[in-house]
A = this chain, B = another copy of it.
């Protein structure tokens, strides 16, 4: 198993989790920036691990990587991941891509949201969207997995069960999300300096954030009809965590949230990482940071008739690398929670 492009926050978290995984054996890691250095040198938190001490970053080609590993994680920017995926798949490797490159089934939608032509539209049909709670069965045999974005995970898991049961009106969906700064990646940009983010709270990407493409695609599947939603991301001064507050107009359930609870409990009865909170607690990112769990709570407002659903996850774990390993576990026939508890 190999990791390509491991120098960002997502890549570092992926390496950290894989080194602790009881079945995973990391045989290669690539990074143009760190080629020649050991994992231990680049990631001090993993410096004690024997593999981290001996394994060195390389700048290997996809062909070379495919010769060493049967399964490859791509932690690359969108537009770059696609260039590695095609040759890797061609050489027989299975690919788990953490970028946006294979999340959108429709190449035109990809171009609309990402501003350039898709590099391998022929691969889109094969890609499985890596949300294990929804696509668990398809993931077992997948050759190419497109891991969901961090915001989409926090929105889809609390919304899909309600849409499938037709408990909410699709046109009413508003998702208000708050993200920690690691969501912006490890980029040397002024906007993400400590002084610019600390003691600051701000919206961004209003009103059309890229993640809308995959969110609406998956909600449309769940609803059986095209869905368009409102989504506003905000940056808040924490390292990790996404807190999403969802506003829904219920269909005809009135003040009875029993069906809402039933929909969640049924859908997630066997989902080891979904924590449905009882009616006293509300989600808090500090309960899930560093873990692969997502907390979900719901409240009906008798004054407005709306349903409020809230979720909390770690954007780097359940929103990225942890979920990628959850997919990996399913693909390899391991325990779904292996290496993640």
Q: Which residues of A contact B (CB under 8 A)?
A: 9, 20, 44-45, 47-48, 174, 176, 178, 180-182, 186-190, 192-204, 206-208, 228-230, 232, 234, 236-241, 243, 245, 247, 272, 275, 281-291, 293, 295, 299-301, 303-304, 306, 308, 310, 312, 341
Cα A116 to Cα B272 in complex, Å, equals 45
Contact B202 A285 (CB under 8 A): yes
Cα A91 to Cα B157 in complex, Å, equals 51
Query: Which of B44, B181, B201, B208 makes the CB contact (< 8 A) with A281?
Result: B44
Cα A303 to Cα B171 in complex, Å, equals 11
**Which residues of the other chain, B, contact A208 by a CB distance below 8 angstroms?**
301, 303
Query: Which of B44, B198, B282, B284 makes the CB contact (< 8 A) with A287?
Result: B44
Cα A180 to Cα B193 in complex, Å, equals 12
Contact A303 B228 (CB under 8 A): yes
Contacts A198-B238, A199-B285, A200-B286 supplied; 17 other A-B pairs, CB < 8 Å: A45-B287, A47-B275, A176-B176, A178-B178, A186-B193, A187-B193, A188-B193, A199-B239, A200-B241, A200-B284, A201-B312, A203-B283, A206-B299, A230-B301, A232-B308, A247-B247, A290-B290
Contact A206 B247 (CB under 8 A): no
Task: Give min CB distance, A159 to chain B, whole Å.
Answer: 15
**Which residues of the other chain, B, contact A247 by a CB distance below 8 angstroms?**
174, 230, 247
Cα A174 to Cα B59 in complex, Å, equals 46
Q: Give the nearest-CB partner of A288 in chain B.
A: B45
Contact B194 A48 (CB under 8 A): no
**Which residues of the other chain, B, contact A237 by a CB distance below 8 angstroms?**
194, 198, 236-238
Cα A310 to Cα B48 in complex, Å, equals 19
